[in-house]
C-alpha cells in the first residue's frame, strides 16, 4: 500500500515534505515490538514459575504478579520507551520510523499512553489484526491508537535524490558563447527544469510534445535560435542560464570581498571604542 507524501505548512509558512511510513514497514516494526514486549512478559512468567519463587509465592500473589508484569510490559514500558526516545522504539528504529503528532511535532505523554493503551486491544489482544484492518483503510496507515491520539508514523529514511548537473550540450557549445538568453518568467524556468528532470519517465510522444511546447514558449527570450532538437534546445538554455547566474554570483562575491577592508575600516577622526 503506497502512502503519498504530504506537504505540511508550519506557522512560519515553511512547507515541509513529510512521508508517512508504509503499511508493510509499519507492520514489520509492530511485529518486532510485539516480540520484544510479549517476549519480556513470557520471560517474567517463566522466572516467577521457577522453584526459587514458587516456594514463597502464594497462588493469589503469583497471579497478581503475572497481571502486574503484563501491564508493565504492554503499557508502561512501551509508553516510557516512546516518550524517552521521542517516538521511537526498537521496531521503529529497525524500519526507520518515528511516531510524531499530526502537525509533525514530537509526541508527549498523552500520545504515548493512548497509543500503548489502545495497543493492548488492537495489537496484543487481536495479534495485530484490528490495527492492520484499520491501517489498510487509512491514507497514512494509521492504527486506532494513532487516530485517537492524533499521531502517525513518519518515515525518516527517505532517499534524497540529487539530480545530476549537466553542462552545455556539445552541439551547442559554439552557440552558447554568443547566445543572448534573457531573463525568463520564474514559472517558465521552473517548468523547463522540471521537464528536464522528469523527461526520462515520459513516453516518447508526450516527451516530444512537451519539449516542443516549452521550446516555443522559451524562444522569445533567446537569440539567435539554434537549429537543434527542442529538448536539446531546452537543455542548452538551462545550462547557459545556470552558468551565467553562477558567474554573476561569483563576481558579486569578489566585489564584496574587495570592498571589505573599506567597509571594516574606522572612519577618520572617529573615536575607537
Q: Which residues contact 18 (CB under 8 A, 6 or more apart)?
A: 5, 6, 7, 8, 104, 154
Number of domains making up the chain: 2
Q: How far apart are CA 77 and CA 68, in angstroms?
A: 12
Q: What is the mean pLDDT of the chain?
A: 84
**208 in the same domain as 147:** no
272 located within any domain: no
**178 in the same domain as 144:** no
Identify the band that residue 247 occupies on the pLDDT scale cut at 50, 70 and 90: confident
**Structural domain of residue 210, as residue ranges?**
170-264
Domain boundary among 102, 124, 155: 155
162 located within any domain: no
Q: How far apart are CA 83 and CA 78, in angstroms?
A: 8
Residue 166 confidence (pLDDT) above 50: yes
* Mean pLDDT calculated for residue range 76-90: 91
Identify the band that residue 3 occupies on the pLDDT scale cut at 50, 70 and 90: very low
Q: What percent of the chain has pLDDT over 70?
A: 86
pLDDT tens digits for 183-218? 888 889 889 988 888 888 888 899 999 999 999 999
- 107/156: higher pLDDT: 107
Report the predicted TM-score, pTM, of the whole model to 2 decimal places: 0.54
pLDDT tens digits for 11-67? 434 445 568 888 888 889 999 999 999 999 999 988 888 887 777 778 888 889 999
What is the reported pLDDT for 35?
93
Which three cell numbers mark 261? 577592508
What is the reported pLDDT for 255?
86
Amino acid at each position: 500500500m503506497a502512502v503519498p507524501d504530504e506537504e505540511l505548512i508550519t506557522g512560519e509558512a515553511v512547507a515541509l515534505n513529510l512521508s508517512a511510513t508504509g503499511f508493510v514497514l509499519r507492520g514489520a516494526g509492530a511485529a518486532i515490538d510485539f516480540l520484544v514486549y510479549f517476549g519480556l512478559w513470557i520471560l517474567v512468567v517463566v522466572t516467577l514459575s521457577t522453584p526459587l519463587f514458587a516456594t514463597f509465592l502464594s497462588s493469589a500473589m503469583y497471579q497478581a504478579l503475572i497481571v502486574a508484569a503484563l501491564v508493565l510490559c504492554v503499557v508502561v514500558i512501551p509508553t516510557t520507551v516512546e516518550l524517552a526516545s521521542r517516538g521511537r522504539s526498537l521496531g521503529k528504529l529497525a524500519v526507520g520510523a518515528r511516531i510524531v503528532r499530526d502537525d509533525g511535532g514530537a509526541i508527549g505523554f498523552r500520545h504515548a499512553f493512548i497509543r500503548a493503551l489502545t495497543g493492548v486491544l488492537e495489537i496484543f489482544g487481536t495479534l495485530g489484526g484490528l490495527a492492520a484492518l484499520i491501517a489498510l483503510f487509512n491514507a497514512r496507515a494509521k492504527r486506532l491508537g494513532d487516530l485517537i491520539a492524533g499521531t502517525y508514523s513518519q518515515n525518516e529514511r527517505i532517499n534524497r535524490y540529487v539530480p545530476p548537473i549537466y553542462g552545455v550540450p556539445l552541439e551547442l557549445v559554439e552557440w552558447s558563447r554568443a547566445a543572448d538568453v534573457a531573463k525568463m518568467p520564474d514559472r517558465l524556468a521552473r517548468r523547463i527544469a522540471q521537464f528536464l528532470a522528469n523527461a526520462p519517465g515520459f513516453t516518447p510522444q508526450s516527451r516530444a510534445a512537451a519539449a516542443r511546447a516549452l521550446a516555443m514558449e522559451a524562444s522569445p527570450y533567446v537569440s539567435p535560435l539554434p537549429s537543434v532538437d527542442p529538448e536539446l534546445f531546452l537543455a542548452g538554455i538551462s545550462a547557459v542560464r545556470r552558468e551565467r547566474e553562477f558567474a554573476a554570483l561569483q563576481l558579486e562575491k569578489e566585489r564584496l570581498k574587495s570592498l571589505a577592508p573599506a567597509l571594516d575600516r574606522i572612519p577618520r577622526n572617529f573615536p575607537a571604542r
